[in-house]
Chains A and B, each alone.
Chain A
Amino acid sequence: MSGATATAPLPRQALYLAWRSVIRTARQPIVIVPPLVFPLFLLAINASGLDAATSIPGFPADSYLAFALAFPFMQGALFATNTAGANIAQDIGTGFFNRLSLTPMRGASLLAGQLTGVLLVGAIQAVAFLAAGLAAGVTIEAGPLGVPVLFALSLIIVAAFGTIGLFAGLRTGSGEAVQGLFPLMFVLLFLSSAVLPRDLIAQDWFQTVATINPVSYLIEGLRSLIITGWDPGALALAFGIALAIFAAGLAASVAALRERLVRT
């Protein structure tokens, strides 16, 4: 890294690291393809396999595909945890982080830069999932204005889970440990209202877990734009929870970064 880069103001430092993060992401198809293919595959299976669920009295949509379209957005966001965490753990493992810490580079630039690559994947995912849904006949009940809101909410959720990955990567410095978070994310996704609305979940214990699980509200916010229209309550909850996770993840990441720099 040149001296000019190191002494550049924070936005420019972040820009350099963001560009590096974007290039690195673009050069690794393995980082881009599975987060696109897996959620679409599961969407296709669930939409066909569970279409009969629309016959349950009180089901809020005529098409299970429309109901389930929020699922890949959420699943893709959960992949962000691993991508962000694995990237920073790799930087720590290869010594890049140590070299960076010898420069006057600010910690905030490092975190912002790392998140950019993850947001790029998130944006590609959002476009692909929405395109797949629209191609399969889903209509967005919130209308054309709902699309940018859907993208904005989706990217905030990606950033929120990305900060959790950053925290795990900075804290452990191990890609393997970051991968260990994936099952936890999977549990959060499946023990939510992802496959049925909360009021139609028949098992009390599952309904309670889904009600406590913040992922339920994130999915319900995304889903409201697709199947309900404008639901201020669902959107406020989703944006609020996503921003709260982002703030908590960022604070934890900053603390972990500080600790890591001291150790370095």
Chain B
Amino acid sequence: MSDAADTRAEAGGRAGARTRRRARNLAVVRTVAWRNLHSVIRTPALLLPPLVFPLFFYMAFAGGLSAVGNLPGFGYYDYNAFQFVFVLLQSAAFGGVFIGFSIAADFDAGFTRRLFLAAGDRSAVIAGYGVAAVVRAVFVWAVVFAIAVATGMEVGGDGIELSGLVGLALIVNVAAFLFAAGMMTRMRTLQAAPAMQLPVFFILMTAPVYVPRDLLQGWIETVSRFNPATAILEAGRSLMAGDPFHVALAFAAAAGLGVALAVFARRGLRKAEAAG
């Protein structure tokens, strides 16, 4: 056989190996995601909190504080919509964190270690959890959005702006998931759950949750100015209102956070692999 034919055969072999590897990784992603979704569907205790909490917060904030929407200088068209965007982004972030619980529980049970042994590329295992996080979050958003609209929330944005809002929430969901995955691959136990919840809670709550930034006073006004969640929340609210405002900055902040947390998660995975 000639050299050219050898090279072609070698290149074909490499391409085939790549395709097989990709197919194997996709199978791992699909299997891990399906297993997680299946266990959530079958266990109401896992399904309900991520669904009920956003609904509850929406009811409590939008219902209890609606008088705040009439304050001079509030300047947003609907307090329900104002709170809906916060709840959407909050559920996106905590949707990612809740998957961290699944990773930790699987580590506690020894299941993740067995998965790591079986998978050629361990990133595919983590990606599987990520896919489950996105599916779960989208389901929660659909339910909360339907209930919010049914109970009188006004939507100012058009389809494109709402798609932008959902896109922003998806990036937040993935970023929070990567953070949770990074924490849990380092800690590898459910006991460390507060270590992933507290920073997310702190970042979300120090953004302008109840009123726009102009009406904030004291230390939270200063903190919110430097908090990346502020840009994301404000852009989300502007998209909801149909009046986009520093959307590119918000996407850049969310994507930057996502990239940094992807590195964090990857290093966590290496630590988990090294720990055996």
Contacts and interface: CB of A to CB of B under 8 A. Distances in A.
B218 A196 contact: no
A44 B202 CA distance: 12
B49 to A, nearest CB: 7
Interface in A33-67: 34, 41-42, 44-53, 55-56
Interface string A13-35: 00000000000000000000010
Interface residues of A, number: 30
Contacts of A45: 205-206, 209, 220
Interface of A is mostly: helix
B67 interface: yes
B68 A56 contact: yes
B71 A55 contact: yes
B227 interface: no
Interface residues of B, number: 33
B210 A55 contact: no
A47 B206 CA distance: 12
Interface stretch (B56-64, B88-96, B164-172, B175-183): B56-64
B49 A49 contact: no
Interface of A: 34, 41-42, 44-53, 55-56, 180, 183, 186-187, 190-191, 195-196, 200-203, 205-206, 210
Contacts of A191: 59-60, 64
B60 A201 contact: no
A190 B71 contact: no
A49 B220 CA distance: 7
Nearest to B62: A203
B119 to A, nearest CB: 31
Interface of B: 45, 49, 52-53, 56-57, 59-60, 62-68, 70-72, 194, 202, 205-206, 208-211, 215-221
Given A49-B208, A49-B211, A206 B217 contact: no
A45 to B, nearest CB: 5
Contacts of B202: 41
B66 A202 contact: yes
Most-contacted residue by chain A among B49, B53, B57, B68 (CB, 10 A): B68
Contacts of B218: 47-48, 51
A41 B203 CA distance: 12
Given A45-B206, A196-B65, A201-B64, A52 B56 contact: no
Nearest to A46: B210
A49 B56 contact: no
Given A50-B68, A190-B57, 8 more contacts: A48-B216, A52-B216, A52-B217, A190-B64, A196-B64, A201-B67, A202-B66, A206-B66
B56 A55 contact: no
